[in-house]
């Protein structure tokens, strides 16, 4: 059973987002971004209470801006997804979760060392240029179950 319900359009949308956010970090980096996308769809906490679909997660607005830089800028995100990225997206949607993004709800590229917390959320690890953060203990148990 998939981690979150999805349609073929969701696979394509997620694949394009994974590519736009992490193509320079290879397949592994794109899978980590995919973890965050799916984690936000299953999380029932914080800013993600009302997000249940991949489309809602990707086009989510926080603080007046889209949550993902690739949607804000648009230029890379609107390229077509390739079959290889679609396969990666399906892996995330079906089952794939791995540290440091296994339970992460946030990531960013600080262009510097990763800070130990980000908006009071603990650092869970780094892959290449991206720092990953998961919810503080007791603040979002749903992400650990989903």
- What is the pLDDT averaged over residues 48-66? 93
| 61 sits in which H/E element | strand 61-62
Q: How far apart are CA 140 and CA 136, in angstroms?
A: 7
pTM comes to: 0.95
Residue 77 has pLDDT above 80, yes or no: no
Q: Is the pLDDT of residue 145 over 90?
A: no
Among residues 36, 12, 21, which one has the least CA distance to residue 121? 36
| pLDDT band at residue 74 using 50, 70 and 90 as cut-offs | confident
């Amino acid at each position: 059973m998939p981690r979150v319900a999805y349609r073929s359009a969701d696979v394509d949308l997620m694949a394009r987002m994974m590519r736009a956010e992490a193509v320079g970090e290879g397949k592994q980096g794109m899978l980590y971004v995919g973890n965050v996308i799916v984690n936000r769809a299953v999380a029932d906490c914080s800013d993600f209470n009302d997000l249940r679909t991949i489309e809602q997660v990707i086009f989510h607005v926080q603080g007046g801006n889209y949550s993902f830089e690739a949607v804000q800028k648009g230029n890379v995100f609107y390229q077509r997804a390739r079959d290889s990225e679609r396969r990666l997206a399906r892996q995330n949607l079906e089952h794939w979760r791995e540290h440091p993004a296994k339970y992460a709800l946030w990531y960013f590229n600080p262009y510097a060392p990763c800070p130990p917390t980000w908006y009071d959320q603990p650092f869970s690890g780094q892959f290449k240029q991206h720092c990953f953060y998961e919810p503080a203990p007791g603040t979002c148990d749903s992400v650990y179950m989903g």
